[in-house]
């Protein structure tokens, strides 16, 4: 591998100046689960209970890198799931709201708990339940397969689908906007 490759600095998000501007101020990333951290599939067993959720390891590593720079990560989801609790614990996410009926209420609690403002927050959602928070935060994003009404109300839409690297794409954008991407890449290349 050439030395030029190692020292090359690139920003794959330079075509999204508004998203980069908004992402530069993010101190907290709020994530939905179904359709964002997973592909949205619900595998229901014979007893009528959810049996399985599939998470993407790229998303997990992106979350860990983002947290390593001081950006907090939270989950606000409409379902309650031991699988989500387990994945959140693995990733060091302590701010979790599950079985939420109105996500704006949970977001307000989250802001009170962290002392942050809406302008400090990014959020990623994919469907109508997320519409109560996406237009309010400083930086709103959605995965590629999000509902049309969600796509109309965000600053950034990933190329990847939920559960297939969309969260990593958003994390990479925030890392780039906050001048942390190249530094973390250089550390990984050592």
- To which residue do tokens 């930086």 refer? 139
pLDDT of residue 13: 82
pLDDT confidence of residue 115:
97
Would you say residue 6 has pLDDT above 60? no
Residue 2 clears pLDDT 50, i.e. is over it? no
Query: At residue 4, does pLDDT exceed 50?
Result: no
Query: How confident is the model over 48-92, as pLDDT tens digits?
Result: 776 778 899 999 999 999 999 999 999 999 999 898 999 999 999
Q: Which domains does the chain have, with CATH numbers?
A: 15-189 (3.40.50.1000)
pLDDT digits (tens, 9 = 90+) for 171-187: 999 999 999 999 999 99
> Cβ-count burial of 79 within 10 angstroms (0-12 exposed, 13-18 middle, 19+ buried)?
middle
Phi, psi of 29 (to 5 degrees): -110, 120
Please report the pLDDT score of residue 41 as a whole number.
80
Q: What is the mean pLDDT of residues 6-11?
A: 52
CA angle 172, 6, 59 (to 5 degrees): 20
pLDDT value, residue 42 = 77
Residue 152 token pair: 């109309």
Measure the CA–CA gap between 153 and 148, rounded to whole angstroms: 9
Q: What is the pLDDT of residues 100-151, one digit of tens each?
A: 999 999 999 999 999 999 999 999 999 999 999 999 999 999 999 999 999 9
Tokens of 86: 């387990």
Q: Please report the pLDDT score of residue 10 as a whole number.
A: 61
DSSP SS3 for 30: strand
CB-based contacts of 108, cutoff 8 Å, min separation 6: none
Average pLDDT over residues 1-13: 53
- Note the pLDDT of residue 44: 76
């Amino acid at each position: 591998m050439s030395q030029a490759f190692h020292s090359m600095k690139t920003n794959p998000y330079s075509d999204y100046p508004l998203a980069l501007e908004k992402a530069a101020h993010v101190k907290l990333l709020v994530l939905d689960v179904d359709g964002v951290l997973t592909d949205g599939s619900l595998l229901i067993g014979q007893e009528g209970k959810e049996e399985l959720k599939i998470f993407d390891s790229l998303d997990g590593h992106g979350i860990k890198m983002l947290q390593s720079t001081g950006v907090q990560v939270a989950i606000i989801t409409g379902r309650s799931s031991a699988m989500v609790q387990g994945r959140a614990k693995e990733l060091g996410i302590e701010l979790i709201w599950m079985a939420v009926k109105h996500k704006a209420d949970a977001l307000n609690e989250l802001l009170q708990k962290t002392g942050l403002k809406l302008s400090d927050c990014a959020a990623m959602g994919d469907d109508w339940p997320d519409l109560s928070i996406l237009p309010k935060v400083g930086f709103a994003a959605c995965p590629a397969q999000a509902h049309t009404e969600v796509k109309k109300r965000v600053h950034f839409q990933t190329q990847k689908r939920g559960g297939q690297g969309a969260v990593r794409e958003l994390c990479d954008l925030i890392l780039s906007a906050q001048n942390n991407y190249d530094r973390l890449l250089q550390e990984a290349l050592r």
